[in-house]
Amino acid sequence: MGHGDRKQIIAEDGSVYEVEAVHIPNSVMTHALVVNEEMRTKAARLLPVAQRMAESRATRASFCRAYAEAEEAARESREYAESLYLVAKGLSVEGKRVVTVELWRKIMACFYQDLALGALMVKG
């Protein structure tokens, strides 16, 4: 996996995040979130909740196989838990898993957290 230059990007609410270009073999180039201590701390606190939610939704999906939305919710919850696990370890890339700014903000929204958490700068 190749790593590239770091740069800052601005989210739709004006929050500024640092990202690093990464290339995963047999895949596309993307920008991984650069994890800071505030993000690591928040991810570590949310991880147990995310893991329980993933287990719960997986159980729900097993009972409701006919409903595609239950399976999608379980997949999304697993993705969130795996991503929080990486960020809690201080990483944003491991194997083919890449935590992007967009994914980080989706996770924060899911847990009703400040979407700008971990941003270098917040507009306003």
Task: Tell me the pLDDT tens digit for each residue of 57-114.
Answer: 888 777 766 667 777 888 999 999 999 999 999 999 999 899 999 999 999 998 888 8
CA distance 75 to 62: 12
Domain-located, residue 49? yes
Domain-located, residue 124? no
Phi–psi pair at 90, nearest 5 degrees: 85, 15
CA distance 51 to 66: 23
Domain-located, residue 117? no
Percentage of the chain lying above the pLDDT 90 cut = 52
Domain-located, residue 116? no
Residue 81 structural domain: 2-110
Domain count, the chain: 1
Report the DSSP pairing between strands 97-98 and 93-94.
antiparallel
- The pTM of the full predicted model, rounded to 2 decimals, is 0.61
List the beta bridge partners of residue 29: 23
Domain-located, residue 82? yes
Say if residues 115 and 108 touch (Cβ distance below 8 Å): yes
